[in-house]
Structure 1
Amino acid sequence: MSAPDDGRAQAAPARRPGPSRRLLRTVTLVASCLALIAAAVIVGVRHFGREPTVTLLANWTLGDAKKFEDAVLVPFEKRHHIHVDYQGSSAESQVLSADVEAGTPPDVVVLTGPGELASYYRQGKLKRIDGLIPKDGFGTSWTPTFDGGVYWFPLKADLKSIVWSPRSMSDEQRADAARQPRQWCLGMGSGATSGWPGTDWIEDILLQQAGWRTYQRWALGQLSWNSKEVKKAWNTWHGLVGAGDEKVVGRALVTSYRDASARAARKPPQCSLEHQASFVGTEDAWKDGKGKYGPSSPLLTGKAGSGSWEVSGDLVALLHETPQTRELIRYLASAEAQQAWSSVETGFSVNNEVDVNTYKGAQRRLLAATLLDRGAVHCFDASDAMPPSVRDAFAQATIDFLARPDRLDSLLRDLEALRKKGGLTWLSSVCARG
């Protein structure tokens, strides 16, 4: 704080000689030149690859990519002085395949499909990472082993086996709406991966009807597509969503999965239920307390919840091992990085060290707690766990079935023939408790 003014006149300070204007100009010019030289050195070092750099491929683009970079990658870069060259693509499977074929794969990749990662493991493309991630940090359904080693872990996860509805709907109203095909908000569109919302339906119905052991056998390629359990799941879906109904199917086939719930937000609502993962809780129809979710089993099968949940996730794998990529893997597996990402994204961390109380809102905390529930059985999305060729054929079959449910036997025969095809890599486990 300044000294108080006592009212007395102050003597003017003696003027001290300062640097000349010429000297000031010279110093300023030199400083500017040094700054330009430093900037040029930094650019040059990056250009010639002398700054440690890690390449990372994932499916987040545009705004999501910026969120990921700002929340997760920038803190890593500042702390470890390692540059992360991020590439986001909505067609990352195709991009990765082309890069691997060309011999220029990214150092680290984030994929949604463990089945796809298993095929890269079989080709010898993945590096073992169990020494880089927290021991017992993730449940075994998230980190399956191959020959005793772990090759991927989840960066974030979503809960499936749930149905969204307006908060004002009672359980009786939900049950009544579930018996009316036109009350389901259904969108099958997703660009090159269209059809996967249909696979989610079949998978979840099978899980709730037949139990997780049957589900796991099917997801691991050990149960025929022609089995009574699998066929029953398809026929149950037929009755729920009105497969074959030209108006229902036509709308579903041209509607993106992201836009499906928009019809529930209209006045008056044109649908009231959505069978979709936890990430749609941010859509207009359900966000800001307008929507609620509940377990799918009572609405899909008429039975109480089985304690088994279908889940999905974005999985991190290492393709090129260096000191810098090992450091990035350690960081992405940490509670710090996972909490940072889930705080700005719709997903959740399943790192056991992340406290569910860090999530904002009771609904998000409850979703996170269900994903971490050690008493529940979590089963990874079956189609994502299947070999890519089977996954893609399954997705297409759900589209064909919606339009022509009378073709079910033919569709299942084709899928069964594909299951028996040699050279496919199947996982060893997709379900686990905790």
Structure 2
Amino acid sequence: MINRRATITAITGLGVAGLASGCLSAGSTNNSNSDGSAATGPGKKTVSVMYGLGPDTEPGFKADVKKWAAANGITVDFIKAAAWDTEIRTKVQGGNPPDVGLFPQPGLMCDLAKQGKLVAFDAATVATNKETLVPGIVDAGTCADGKVYGLPNEVSVKSVLWTDAPAFKAAGYTAPKTLDELLTLTEKIKADGKAPWCIAAESGAATGWPITDWLEDLVLRFAGPENYDKWVKGELKFNSPEIKPAWEYFEKIAFGKDNVRGGTKSIVATNFQTGGNAMFAQPPGCYLFKQATFVANKGGFPDSVIAKLDTTTGPLPFPAKTEGDNPVLIGGDIAAAFNNDPNTLKLRNFIASKENGVEQAKNGAFSPHKTADVSLLPNKTLQTIASDVLYKATAARFDGSDLMPAKVGAGTFWTEPVKWISGQQDLNTTLTNIDDSFPKTGS
């Protein structure tokens, strides 16, 4: 998970745009039973699964699948993609897709489903999973035809504020429960002569994507889940009265004088993985950092912090607009089948089931199922995020930029905010430019 965005980077705009334009017509897979029913016969003895999982998730995933495969008399061929979008495109174009694919981007998955490349889940399997999945997660794998083509293997939680727990407590600060309280806390920290925030958006050729996580979380809160869905589909404009307040709130945080360590323009020059590490300096360089849970893995927070995560950090739920409301923003890898071979569908269904994920949890990955045993997670910090943020969510929504057309989600939604934050253009220009880039219906 920690390296997912790095594998997307600049190739996404080319690779996924090609998918969306229908260039995958060659080598069509025979998916005549697209209602989710399996083909007749005993099924393949070897089933392939392709994924782009990072080093924090891959070992547990392989262990879980191998245990299931051994019990079912199946051999699994694991294919790791260094650049998921490019490699899956090449395989599908060549008529040689894997049996099962783990998609980090539901939008790409639905592009392929529209072209008849994927097999939908059957209604009974969807109903069974829906009983235990966090509300809203099934929607992420549901495509325009109303069928569910993908369900998640694991998820990361993005609606988290990180603190240095001892420093935060010593300064007398308390967790904000609402967005208004978060603004009040920001002002209090600043009044104490300290920098409230570390905000980081540098990611090489993908610089800007971390800001999308901020804005998606805020859209969920200001506009609500239903309007969030309309927004990612292009039915609500970025500059609409429903969506713009999220940007205006972020502007208060990121553009406020002395709110951000290094100033507003430093945001796009500060690395997204290590940008919060200044919290742990003496004295702290900032007191708040918003980032997904991957930052608590190696390559994110300093090793010395990760080694004592439960005492060094104090993660807080990203506040609601109104106390009691609890939407959560997630990312993850969604399992989909490229054919209706019985064993292909069995493997896909296991990956999406509540029975999967035991070994992954031990390595710090969150199951999307509320029935998961949180005690399997390796520390109290992750256990608390699972129980208090993810599993108490009133509605979960998948990363919006991953759901949008690639030209926007991995294009202007990354690049236009960078220009805004850098002082090259104002907010209205930023929003209008993104809206103008959104593909028109039917195009």
Q: Normalising TM by the smaller chain, what interval?
A: 0.7 to 0.9
The reply to whether residue 266 of structure 1 matches residue 281 of structure 2 is: yes
What residue is the counterpart of 1:378 in the other structure? 396
Q: Relative to 1, partners in 2 of residues 1:389 and 1:149: Cα closer, same or farther, differing over 3 Å?
A: same
- Map 1:238-257; keep pairs closer than 5 Å: 238-242=251-255, 247-248=262-263, 251-257=266-272
Q: Structure 1 counterpart of 2:222, which letter? A: Q
The reply to whether residue 219 of structure 1 matches residue 232 of structure 2 is: yes
Q: Which ranges of structure 2 fall in alignment gaps of 5 or more residues?
A: 1-42, 176-181
The reply to whether residue 311 of structure 1 matches residue 319 of structure 2 is: no
Q: Structure 2 counterpart of 1:255, which letter? A: T
Q: Relative to 1, partners in 2 of residues 1:260 and 1:151: Cα closer, same or farther, differing over 3 Å?
A: same
Which whole-Å CA distance do the structure 1 matches of 2:342 and 2:103 have between them? 22
The reply to whether residue 141 of structure 1 matches residue 136 of structure 2 is: yes
> Would the aligned equivalents of 1:53 and 1:83 in 2 still touch at CA under 8 Å?
yes
Which whole-Å CA distance do the structure 1 matches of 2:269 and 2:73 have between them? 46
What residue is the counterpart of 1:293 in the other structure? 315
Q: Deviations over 1:18-70 (max 9, x none)?
A: xxxxxxxxxxxxxxxxxxxxxxxxxxxxxxxx98332222122456434432x
Where 1:213 maps in the other structure, the secondary structure is: helix
The CA deviation at 1:177 is 5.8
The reply to whether residue 323 of structure 1 matches residue 345 of structure 2 is: no
Which whole-Å CA distance do the structure 1 matches of 2:351 and 2:161 have between them? 31
Query: Which residue, 407, 418, 422 being the options, matches 2:441?
Result: 422
Which whole-Å CA distance do the structure 2 matches of 1:321 and 1:194 have between them? 39
The CA deviation at 1:386 is 1.6
> Would the aligned equivalents of 1:77 and 1:83 in 2 still touch at CA under 8 Å?
yes
After superposing the two structures, state which structure 1 stretch, 202-211 or 282-291, moved more: 282-291
The CA deviation at 1:76 is 3.3
What residue is the counterpart of 1:368 in the other structure? 386
Choose 1 or 2 for highest CA Rg. 1
The CA deviation at 1:155 is 0.6
> Would the aligned equivalents of 2:267 and 2:421 in 1 still touch at CA under 8 Å?
no
Q: Relative to 1, partners in 2 of residues 1:351 and 1:422: Cα closer, same or farther, differing over 3 Å?
A: same
Q: Deviations over 1:73-111 (max 9, x none)?
A: 332343334332222234212221232223222221112
Where 2:237 maps in the other structure, the secondary structure is: coil
Q: Deviations over 1:86-142 (max 9, x none)?
A: 222342122212322232222211122222212111121111123684633234622
The CA deviation at 1:376 is 1.3
> Would the aligned equivalents of 1:112 and 1:315 in 2 still touch at CA under 8 Å?
yes
The CA deviation at 1:250 is 5.4
Which whole-Å CA distance do the structure 1 matches of 2:256 and 2:115 have between them? 39
The reply to whether residue 56 of structure 1 matches residue 74 of structure 2 is: no
Where 1:75 maps in the other structure, the secondary structure is: helix
What residue is the counterpart of 1:94 in the other structure? 86
> Would the aligned equivalents of 2:361 and 2:376 in 1 still touch at CA under 8 Å?
no
Where 1:222 maps in the other structure, the secondary structure is: coil
> Would the aligned equivalents of 1:331 and 1:337 in 2 still touch at CA under 8 Å?
yes
The CA deviation at 1:335 is 2.8
For this pair of structures, how many residues does the alignment match? 369
What's the Cα RMSD here? 3.1
The CA deviation at 1:354 is 2.4
Where 1:85 maps in the other structure, the secondary structure is: strand
- Map 1:60-71; keep pairs closer than 5 Å: 60-62=53-55, 64-69=57-62, 71=63
Q: Structure 2 counterpart of 1:116, which letter? A: L
The CA deviation at 1:353 is 4.1
Structure 1 stretches of 4+ with a deviation exceeding 6 A read 243-246
Which whole-Å CA distance do the structure 1 matches of 2:368 and 2:434 have between them? 32
> Would the aligned equivalents of 2:156 and 2:366 in 1 still touch at CA under 8 Å?
yes
Q: Structure 1 counterpart of 2:275, which letter? A: A
Q: Structure 2 counterpart of 1:269, which letter? A: P
> Would the aligned equivalents of 1:279 and 1:347 in 2 still touch at CA under 8 Å?
no
Q: TM-score, normalised by structure 2?
A: 0.73
Q: Deviations over 1:269-302 (max 9, x none)?
A: 222211122333443446232111222226xx6x
Where 2:202 maps in the other structure, the secondary structure is: coil
What residue is the counterpart of 2:219 in the other structure? 206
What residue is the counterpart of 2:427 in the other structure? 408
Q: Deviations over 1:219-257 (max 9, x none)?
A: 232111221343332232223123899954554334332
The CA deviation at 1:143 is 1.9
What residue is the counterpart of 1:120 in the other structure? 112
Q: Relative to 1, partners in 2 of residues 1:178 and 1:124: Cα closer, same or farther, differing over 3 Å?
A: farther
The reply to whether residue 153 of structure 1 matches residue 163 of structure 2 is: no
What residue is the counterpart of 2:250 in the other structure? 237
Where 1:314 maps in the other structure, the secondary structure is: strand
The CA deviation at 1:336 is 3.0
The CA deviation at 1:348 is 0.9
What residue is the counterpart of 2:26 in the other structure? none
> Would the aligned equivalents of 2:104 and 2:333 in 1 still touch at CA under 8 Å?
yes
Where 1:311 maps in the other structure, the secondary structure is: strand
Where 1:312 maps in the other structure, the secondary structure is: strand
Q: Relative to 1, partners in 2 of residues 1:107 and 1:290: Cα closer, same or farther, differing over 3 Å?
A: same
The CA deviation at 1:161 is 2.3
Q: Relative to 1, partners in 2 of residues 1:210 and 1:353: Cα closer, same or farther, differing over 3 Å?
A: closer
Q: Relative to 1, partners in 2 of residues 1:172 and 1:61: Cα closer, same or farther, differing over 3 Å?
A: closer
Q: Relative to 1, partners in 2 of residues 1:83 and 1:131: Cα closer, same or farther, differing over 3 Å?
A: farther
Q: Relative to 1, partners in 2 of residues 1:207 and 1:77: Cα closer, same or farther, differing over 3 Å?
A: closer
The reply to whether residue 130 of structure 1 matches residue 122 of structure 2 is: yes
The reply to whether residue 165 of structure 1 matches residue 163 of structure 2 is: yes
The CA deviation at 1:364 is 2.9
Which whole-Å CA distance do the structure 2 matches of 1:107 and 1:310 have between them? 29
Q: Structure 2 counterpart of 1:109, which letter? A: G
- Over the matched positions of the two proteins, sequence identity in percent amounts to 26
Q: Relative to 1, partners in 2 of residues 1:371 and 1:246: Cα closer, same or farther, differing over 3 Å?
A: closer
Q: Structure 2 counterpart of 1:157, which letter? A: V
Query: Which residue, 354, 373, 380 being the options, matches 1:335?
Result: 354
